[in-house]
Every structure is written in structure tokens, then in C-alpha cells.
Amino acid sequence: MNAPIISIRNLHKWYSGVHALKGVSLDIYPNEALGLIGDNGAGKSTLINILSGVQKQNEGEVLIEGKKAHIKTPRDAMELGIETIYQYNSMVPTMSIARNMFIGREPLKMAVGGIGVMDLKRMRRESVKAIADVDLHLRSPDALVGELSGGQRQGVAIARAMHFKSKVMILDEPTNHLSVKETKKVIGFVRSLKQQNVTGIFISHNMHHVFECCDRVVAMARGEIVLDKRIGETSIEEVQDVL
């Protein structure tokens, strides 16, 4: 196997009195689909938040393609090619799909100091295409995100992440609150990431989902990695035992 795309080295995180990450080290390889499993409070969200720039580690480092990465804000993570789809939904319900697709990265016609006039036509056109690319069928890019179902919203979030050509896509509990059909679609999508040269990190409570679409499973408990195996070399029972 080639060199890791993300190397996590000895990551520590404390929350006043709680040692949430106790020296976590993990290598993630290009184009693999990694399933991250653990109970509530096991530290998976903390680990993901550090990778996506929402929180900062107290100790340890993250290397992206061998280079030390300084991820201080979500913007830093995006610029390194890490897109995150959060369980609480990273969409603004009172805004249209087209506007949501480009929040924080609006294409501008002219700008002074980063503030300028948005290219609304281009935003509409590109969001229609991005949504069609992930096999989602929506009537109009002007519909409010608040009017979409949970699955459609997740679809738009995925379309956004794909549109910005991410190298690594983190999906944080993307199947929560989704119907059976919508869940199937998300799982199919995680499987298809490999063909598009995207590395996927799939966080879930649900072992079956992880075993259906990942190459490798990493289990966390009490702030440490307790199991790290290829899907073919382990079983749901084994993972359940270590948690």
C-alpha cells in the first residue's frame, strides 16, 4: 500500500477534567473507505472535529500527505481538501439550495477585499449539475433547504462536498434520522467514493452500515483505538466485543 493521505500522531484532547482523546494515532490511506465506530463519548466526534478544524488538539499532530498540517479553522480543512458532512446538517434551512451549496465559497463577479457581488446564475447552474451528479432529483435550486426531507438535505450536503473536489470526505453519522431507502443511497455513495478517488471516513453507531460499505474498521472506546482491522479479517461480533 502507498503512503498514507492522513497520519494522525499521538493526539490528545482534554475537556475540563475529561481526557477525551488519549494519544490516538491512525494512518488513513488514499481511496480507502474507513469506518469509525464507537459508543457515545468514545472520542470519535472529537477526532473528527480536530480533522475538520472545529476544535484544536492539546497535543499531537496531523500530517496530510506527509506534510504537517495546521488546521485551525474549518476553512483551513477545506483548503486542504477535507470536507465534512455533519450529523446535525451543515445547511441553513432558511436559505435556498443554490445559496447553501456555496456558503462561504461564493463565486464572485467582482470583489474588493473578499467581499463582492455573487454570480447567482453560475451558483444556480452549478448546483443543478452538482445535485444531478450525485443522482438526486430536485425541482429547483431556488427551493429552500428547510422544505427538503432529511435525506435530500444530506444529498445536497454530499453534492456540495463533491463539487468542491475534496480529497477526503468525512461523513459524521450521515444515516441518522434517514429512511431505509435514503440510508441505502448514502451507503451506496460511500462505496462509490473509491472510484472517484476520494478517501472516505464514515462515522456510525451502526455496525451493519459500516460493514456494508467500508474496507477497514476502526473502533474507539474511552478515547483510545481498541481495534483496527480490514473488514474481511473481522466480524461484527468481534467489534462488538471490544466496545
Partner 1 sequence: MKRLLKIYFEKPELAGGLLLVVLVIVFQVRSNGVFLNLDNLRGMLGLLPEMGLVAIGVTILMICGEFDLSVGSVFALMPMVMAIAMEGGMPFVPALCVGLLVAATIGFLNGFLTIRYAIPSFITTLGMLFIARSLTVVISGGFPPLLPNDLPKWLFTAFVGPGTLFRMSFVWFVAIACIASLVMSRTNFGNWVRATGGFLPAANAMGIPTARVKIACFMLCSILAGFAGMIQVLRLGSPLPSIGEGLELQAVAAAVIGGTALTGGIGTVIGGILGAVLIRVIDNGLVLSQVDANWFKFAIGTLTIFAVVANAWLLRRAKQIRAET
Which C-beta is closer to partner 1: that of 93 or that of 188? 93
Interaction residues for partner 1, span 130-159 (CB under 8 A): 139-140, 142-143
Distance (Å) of CA 37 to CA 85, 125, 204, 214, 234: 16, 38, 6, 11, 14
Among positions 25, 56, 70, 93, the unique one binding partner 1 when judged by CB under 8 A: 93
CA proximity to 44, closest of 151, 162, 157, 170: 170
Residue 242 as a binder of partner 1 (CB under 8 A): the answer is no
Question: Which residues have a Cβ under 8 Å from the Cβ of 106 and sit 6 or more positions away?
Answer: 118, 119, 123
Helix (H) or strand (E) holding 115: strand 115-118
Classify the C-alpha dihedral 10-68-82-189 as positive or negative. Answer: negative
The residue type of 2 is: N
State the number of CA atoms in the 13 A half-sphere of 113 facing the CB. Answer: 0
Which C-beta is closer to partner 1: that of 31 or that of 55? 55
Residue 116 as a binder of partner 1 (CB under 8 A): the answer is yes
Q: How far is the CB of 235 from partner 1 (least distance, A)?
A: 35
Residue 94 as a binder of partner 1 (CB under 8 A): the answer is yes
Interaction residues for partner 1, span 185-224 (CB under 8 A): none
Residue 55 as a binder of partner 1 (CB under 8 A): the answer is no
Among positions 18, 103, 132, 236, the unique one binding partner 1 when judged by CB under 8 A: 103
Q: How far is the CB of 146 from partner 1 (least distance, A)?
A: 9
Among positions 89, 176, 206, 234, the unique one binding partner 1 when judged by CB under 8 A: 89
SS3 content of the chain, % helix, strand, coil (to 5): 35, 30, 35
Residues that bind partner 1 (CB under 8 A): 52-54, 73-75, 78, 84, 86, 88-95, 99, 102-106, 108, 111, 114-118, 120, 139-140, 142-143
